[in-house]
């Protein structure tokens, strides 16, 4: 016999993952659709939209016309701004983004610090405090030698600004160099009122354990994140890194093969079936525009039917030619 209880504890339903899609569409129409949490355009020719849910990402797309990236949730969405920060929320999910000019904030380290302080303060005041995924786009990411490289300055500033932001563990993340205004830093995130499960790659040293040769401050991210309902995997920027070392210097085809091996290892670590399909939107960041056709052909042959955005972006290590991130739905 089942015993009664005056105060039964009802487990909350796990939050269904946002639906991520790439499509050719009018931005205004996409923003009118029910449940649109965020919308992203790519490159310099954006629609000039002032809706807080819209962000024009400073990465050029190799496809013409460029697709929009749409995030949608199963709930009404509210949105607004808080100083330089824009946000939207619905169904337990939160999008927040900030865009800063380094010339106004003391250079790359101080600007990264400020960006993460802003996001930390804002998310900390919201109900959706579990940061699951972060994107970072900065100009001239590989400029400078040794510890003076701009990416290493960014890592220093990010760590200084996050404080205890990620006390429960690092989110999945991407950091890519754009070819727009060198002083422009864009950071945006996806958070939820329920936590996810962090995933590491057994083929790679965890990023926060990288040795000193990669900078004063190691990168701060998990390799992937299982979303709360275990219905999707958010995959961090993934490249041809084995252990902590870059593999196949300046060999695009070998780097693509190694990157795909790392992606499959992440799926296995997350207890997901192998392979990517038509419901697995991915982004490929390609360093040299002359390599875009070869990367597109790689996807056609090895990942047929997978939605792909090909973007012109520099990888955080100058010897790496391509990086892939995205989503895998269960």
Catalytic residues: 323
Tell me if the bond preceding 65 is cis, omega within 30° of 0.
yes
CA distance 238 to 222: 11
CA distance 201 to 269: 7
Q: What are phi and psi of 144, to 5 degrees?
A: 100, 150
302-306 long-range contacts, Cβ below 8 Å, gap at least 24? 302/256, 302/260, 303/260, 303/276, 305/277, 305/278, 306/276, 306/277, 306/278, 306/280, 306/281, 306/282
On whether the CB atoms of residues 233 and 328 are closer than 8 A, the answer is yes
Q: Of 208, 217, 175, 173, which is closest to residue 191 (Cα–Cα)? A: 173
């Amino acid at each position: 016999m089942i015993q009664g209880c005056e105060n039964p504890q009802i487990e909350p339903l796990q939050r269904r993952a946002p639906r991520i899609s790439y499509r050719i569409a009018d931005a205004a129409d996409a923003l009118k659709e029910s449940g649109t949490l965020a919308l992203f355009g790519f490159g310099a020719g954006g629609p000039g939209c002032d809706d807080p849910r819209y962000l024009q990402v400073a990465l050029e797309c190799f496809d013409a016309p460029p697709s929009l990236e749409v995030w949608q949730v199963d709930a009404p969405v509210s949105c607004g701004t808080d100083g330089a920060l824009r946000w939207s929320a619905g169904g337990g999910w939160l999008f927040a983004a900030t865009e800063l000019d380094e010339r106004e904030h003391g250079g790359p380290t101080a600007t990264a610090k400020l960006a993460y302080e802003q996001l930390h303060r804002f998310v900390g005041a919201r109900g959706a405090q579990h940061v699951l995924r972060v994107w970072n786009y900065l100009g001239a990411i590989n400029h400078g030698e040794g510890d003076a490289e701009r990416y290493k300055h960014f890592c220093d500033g990010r760590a200084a600004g996050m404080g205890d932001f990620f006390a429960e563990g690092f989110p999945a993340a991407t950091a890519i160099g754009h070819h727009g205004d060198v002083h422009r830093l864009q950071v945006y995130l996806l958070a939820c009122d329920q936590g996810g499960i962090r995933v590491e790659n057994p083929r790679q040293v965890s990023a926060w354990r990288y040795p000193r040769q990669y900078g004063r401050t190691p990168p701060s991210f998990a390799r992937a994140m299982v979303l709360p309902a275990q219905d999707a995997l958010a995959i961090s920027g993934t490249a041809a890194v084995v252990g902590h070392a870059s593999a196949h210097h300046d060999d695009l085809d070998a780097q693509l093969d190694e990157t795909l091996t790392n992606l499959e290892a992440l799926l296995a670590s997350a207890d997901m079936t192998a392979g990517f399909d038509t419901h697995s939107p991915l982004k490929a960041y390609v360093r040299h525009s002359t390599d875009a056709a070869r990367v597109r052909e790689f996807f056609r042959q090895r990942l047929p039917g997978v939605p792909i955005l090909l973007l012109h972006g520099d990888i955080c290590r100058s010897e790496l030619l391509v990086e892939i991130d995205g989503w895998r739905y269960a």
